[in-house]
Amino acid sequence: MRVILKTRPRAKPKIPIEAEEIIPQNFLRKNDIRVYEGNKERALDDLFFVTYEGPAVSPDQVEIVLTGDTGVIKRVGEYMNAGRIIIEGDIGMHCGNFMSAGEILIRGNADAWLGREMRGGHILCEGNSGHYCAAGYRGEKRGMRGGIVEVRGNSGDFTAEYLSGGEVIIHGDCGDLPGVEMRGGTLVIGGDCSRPCGNMTGGTCMIFGEAHKFLPTFRKNGTDDIVYAGKHYLMNLFRGDVANRGKGTLMVRQ
């Protein structure tokens, strides 16, 4: 089944929409789905033109397509556990919170907290992502625990903060402090970043661009010739963060 949600024109288009109920399992039985516009509760129909195409017997056969002015919609895919969500444009904060399985494809940019504390599944963002991509929310000691988040563009600050499992791949640049407090999993940064992996205790981070303001609390551990995505790279190897008795691995391309 394909569900197409096209945003309706709104009188005040800047008011954010909170839509944690937009997940495939909720459309299977065509539940009464409620969303919030600011602090007002609305029916899905009030804010979207909804079209259903074809049948589905299980949530993994449900595909949701979001189009229109989607950049203000928050929490899409929260606790999603099956199926597929395709966002034709940008998406608001907290997309894919806690998701455990299924797939989210974002053709535009994602705002902050993309894949926050995600446990499994796959998120692909073809544009850029905001701050705290694949991180833990305020105060949380574990960020993403499993699954894959892939961003084709750049990512903001604090990417993969508290990462403890799964894989985060940023093809472009990251902002400040990617992989800070990381304790497991893998973070791959295709471009540049600054101050990577402060306080890391575990996991692996690979940086193929330049690491600016490199922290002095990482111990050089030789070099290694690695194969990533079918290509050879010579990497400088570091262990740390020694300030935190960390046993993480940080690799930076020579």
Partner 1 sequence: MSGLLIKNAFVIDPISGVKGEIMDIAICDGKIVEEAPRDAEIIDAKGHLTLPGGIDSHSHVCGTKVNFGRYMSPEDMRAGRTARKGVMHVTSGYSVPTTFGNSYRYSTMGYTTVLEGAMAPLEARHTHEEFTATPHQDMLANTLFDGNWSVMEAVREKDVKRAAAVVAWTLSAVKGFAIKLTNPGGTEAWGWGRDMSTIHDVVPNFEVTPAEIIGTMIRANELLNLPHSVHLHCNNLGVPGNYRTTLDTISLVPDLNKDRQSLYLTHVQFHSYGGTTWRDICSKSEDITRTINSTPHVVMDMGQIMFGRTTTMTADGPMEFKLYMLHHNKWSNHDVELETGSGIIPVYYSRKSLVNCVMWAIGLELALLTKNPWQCLLSTDSPNGAPFIKYPEIIGLLMSRRFRENERKMIDPRTEHFVPLFAIDRELEWYDIAVMTRAGQAKALGITRIGKGYLTPGAEADVAIYPIKPGEIDPSVEYQQVVAGFSRTLYTIKRGRVVARDGEVVVEGANSTIWSKSNVPAEYDMGSDPEFTRKFEQYYTVRMRNYPVQEVYLPRGKMIASEAFL
**Among residues 55, 139, 216, 230, the one that binds partner 1 under rule CB under 8 A:** 139
- Determine the Cα–Cα distance for residues 147 and 168; give it in Å rounded to an integer: 9
**Among residues 12, 40, 138, 231, the one that binds partner 1 under rule CB under 8 A:** 138
Taking CB under 8 A as the binding criterion, the range among 46-54, 56-64, 134-142, 154-162 that sits at the site for partner 1 is: 134-142
- Determine the Cα–Cα distance for residues 22 and 94; give it in Å rounded to an integer: 12
**Cβ distance 220 to 236 under 8 Å?**
yes
- Determine the Cα–Cα distance for residues 211 and 192; give it in Å rounded to an integer: 6
Q: What is the size of the binding site for partner 1 (CB under 8 A)?
A: 5
The answer to whether 79 contacts partner 1 (rule: CB under 8 A) is no
**Among residues 41, 46, 53, 140, the one that binds partner 1 under rule CB under 8 A:** 140
* 194 vs 201, beta carbon nearer partner 1: 201
Site for partner 1 in 4-63 (CB under 8 A): none
Strand-pair category, 17-18 with 48-53: unpaired
Taking CB under 8 A as the binding criterion, the range among 3-11, 88-96, 131-139, 188-196 that sits at the site for partner 1 is: 131-139
* 199 vs 204, beta carbon nearer partner 1: 199
Q: Edge-to-edge, what's the strand order for the sheet holding 73-74?
A: 40-43, 34-37, 17-18, 73-74
**Among residues 137, 152, 171, 191, the one that binds partner 1 under rule CB under 8 A:** 137
Phi, psi of 205 (to 5 degrees): -130, 130
Taking CB under 8 A as the binding criterion, the range among 20-28, 139-147, 164-172, 225-233 that sits at the site for partner 1 is: 139-147
The secondary structure of 116-148 as a DSSP string is TT--SSEEEESS-B-TTTT-PPTT-S----SSE
